[in-house]
Structure 1
Amino acid sequence: MPRSRWTPIVAYSLVGAATQLVWLNFAGITTVAAARYDVSENAIGWLAQVFPLLYVVLAIPAGLLLDRWFRPSLLIGALLTALGALLRLGDTYPWLLTGQLVASVAQPLVLNAVTGITGRYLSPRDRPTGIAAGTASIFAGMVIAFVLSAFLASSNQIPVVLVISAIFSVIAAIALLLALRLPALHTSASPRPDRNALRTAWSDPLIRRLCLLAMFPFGVFVALTTFAQALLEPSGVSASTASTILLVNVIAGVLGSATIPILVSRHQAASAQLTLSLTATAIACVCLALFPGPLVGYLAITTIGVLLLPALPVVLEIVERQTGEAEGTAAGLIWMSGNLGGLLVATAVGLMVNHPTPAFLVMAAIALIATPGARALRHSL
């Protein structure tokens, strides 16, 4: 069996991190950014929400492109991410929104590729580890975003954040361009018409079930990362403290995503892990609703990170084993469903941004509703 090639995985991980860095640059400094650009907090929230909105529209076309023309499609995603980050250097709200829109077009081409790049460059025994590592690196991009928000949280430091993000995105795109010149161990591209890949993926009842399930944890996480700072501010949590809480949350998620999915795969415990993560998330959101403050914020949101974020690589590893030739399209369906959930839940929470208790209780209810579906998966895996 040929040895796995990890260099493309590392380069891909940098680009995946860049997409999340650009997405979440303003999540920890919503009120500060709103004051700087003289817009509402909800307008700043839309700088993040355009990503799930366009993901819903573009996930399937991106998956089909990746299934047919994997390398060029992934490279276009990397280059558009870098271009979007560069456009934001205009440092006005219209330029920020333009850059976010360009980068959000790129995101499906990058994130849908996590199963495809592991399938092409890693041996079968290394693929669960590769998916876990690739997904963990996506969350690592969130870590970088929250680090920047925590240490560069003032209004006059926002341009520095934009420059750092642009440099990182350009370096990541160049690294991927060089890494993809290596020959793949396996080519998953199929000569079949694109529409067959979609039919193959959607005809699988397990994939359909996973798509429905993905909407709930995605929705809660997107809403939490977008509006946590604004929701916690009335209880005395500053912008810098909120950024630090989100940072700890995603660091915990990175560590969990790099380890938990590997153990879950070995012990075939996907249903148990998903049920536990959703139940714990619901309890944590109830605590945030009833006892808001810095300490509960740290404990509850860190718990959500360490348990909920690994659900994504767990689901994607199931998809990689289940779909074969249509892996890009199937991953696109999962991401599309998750981002649709993110869009719906974040929009609902955004409407309640001045009423933290109901907002957190809504997120708790959404997580709890999904637990029966997670338990039912044990009969299908």
Structure 2
Amino acid sequence: MKANLQEDLRIKDKKNIENTHNTMRNEFTFTLESIYFNENYIPSNSTRATTNFANLARGASRQENLRNTINMINNRFNTLANWDNPNNDRYSVELEIVSVYIDIDGSGKSFPSIEILKTHIIDHKTGKRIEGIVGNNFSSYVRDYDFSVLLSEHTKDENNSSMPANFGELHGNIFKHFVNSDTYKKHFTKPPVICLSVSNNKTYHRTGNHHPVLGFEYQTSDSSLTDQYFKKMGVQARYFMPPNSVAPLTFYFFGELLTDYTNLELISTISTMETFQKIYRPEIYNANSAAASCFKPSLNNQDHSLTKIIYNREERSQLAIEQGKFAEKHFILPNKSVLEQWSANFAI
């Protein structure tokens, strides 16, 4: 009788734990806010100042910066989408900045967890507005905390070559939870594609694989720290150099990049993110010569051209530290035990 009672209590305790985990998971809810990126764009207070699009919308030349950036995106899009487009002016791209807020306890108090871009394609010939890809640029305060605070503190000891325990797991689980949430599925029809620069610490080799829009595929035998970090977000990486580009881009995605998205969708991502990279990493993406079959990107490359859009790279690095500390103070530390327990028990 006593043994049966103890077993009943164990079962009850197990159910209570499972219910607690389910409740915690259900309480991790997301809300979205969006604003369009155009020449009148003004960043919201919750937007990371280091984010590509926010960084451009500052200073006396902000409108000129924004206008020139949009023109670069549209010109690049039309160059790639050149069929039935004799004057290279058939299409334009609209960019929607999507801010994702997370509420971890159902209190209504939320933290700006993720910021991404959604592309929309305007076909001026047919008058249609075509849905593009969501993802593109990727911004996260927690990512700033991981790299600019946690990892920085961990590696102050030159002899410490290891990574912090569970590095990137909380961030990755939050992202996967968002992509699998009802909120994501309600607003977006396809999984996200994130497009970033290749690593300047790795060597990339061109393969014989060629896609009509993505261009030649490159591969590397050694994944970068960013690749490893994004893998914990559930995505895989492939590297392609689009036609008339000078360096490959990194594409992070779920599923099948080459078959899950249309050519116009892929072009909207390429034209947007290549433009940002030309501005922020001109040594690689606005170089005066194209990547060879064996390519090691370098931020010390002097043979490159500058766009008319100037930014302060050093300031951007400092802001990443400040924003990482902001996440630590307002999100990580106040919710440390809840976040750790949730992440440890997370399962899709």
Of Structure 1 and Structure 2, the greater helix share is in 1
| TM-score of the pair, normalised by structure 1 | 0.25
Question: Which one has the largest radius of gyration?
Answer: 2
Instruction: Name which structure has the greater RCO, CA cutoff 8 Å, separation 6+.
Output: 1
